[in-house]
Amino acid sequence: MVPPGWVRGPGPPAHPAQSRPGATPAPPTRRDRRAAGPVVSPPVRLVLASASPARLATLRSAGFAPDVVVSDVDEAAALEAAPGDAGPADQVLLLSRAKARDVARRDTARDALVVGCDSMLELDGAVHGKPADAAEAVARWRRMRGRSGVLHTGHWIVDTRGPEARETGGVSSTTVHFADLSDAEITAYVATGEPLAVAGAFTVDGLGGPFVRRVEGDHHGVVGISLPLLRELLGELGVQVTDLWRG
């Protein structure tokens, strides 16, 4: 925009070779390249291989605009194929890898970074995903109340942008301290249906928030995707987290 009172002058003279009809255009000068502005790299596309609304909301609140492509992995079958000595962290990493790889093979995930995640709660040496029904959710909360468990969230990224896919992964583990709920509170909470839809039968960012006294570790990992770990994994693939900010 020309400031008030200013008059736009004539532009720079054309290059002599460009002023003659039929002449071969001269290569751009350094001044020409500066005037054209910086070279803009194509945007990096992120694909979330998960149907979790909490993971999607976490990524969006952090400035990302991921596409969602849900995997078709049979989690029970995948765990049956795991080594017998696979611990909780190994299991969530295995499942997150299976989900990311499943989506990365699809045409909708070409030239993108595909992120798969999986979460489980470790309590008394056993791991727990989503409760099968309300009765299981009530029983689990009666064991959890007033105690602590470890929420493990596996992360796996497959980079499909090159001729050969690259991948990396890691696990976020956070200790969660639960409030000592009454039977009435447990019944009311399970009746909302929320515990049936999430790993460990609780949320920290929803109706279950008042029942979590504190966490030791990254609370994003408890929600479903650890933003600090995601940043580290992206860095291993040569991508800055700021490259994925929308706009």
* CB proximity list for 1: less than 8 A, separation 6 or greater: none
Beta-strand ranges (E) seen in 76-147 are 113-123, 126-128
Instruction: For residue 163, give the 3-state DSSP assignment.
Output: coil
Residue 183 is a catalytic residue: no
Nearest to 117 by CA among 78, 67, 170, 163: 170
Tokens of 169: 């992964």
CA 235/CA 239 separation, integer angstroms: 5
85, 111, 118, 124: the catalytic one is 118
Tokens of 196: 């049936």
What the block records as the tokens of 146 is: 């007033």
What 3-state DSSP class applies to 102? helix
Catalytic residue IDs = 118
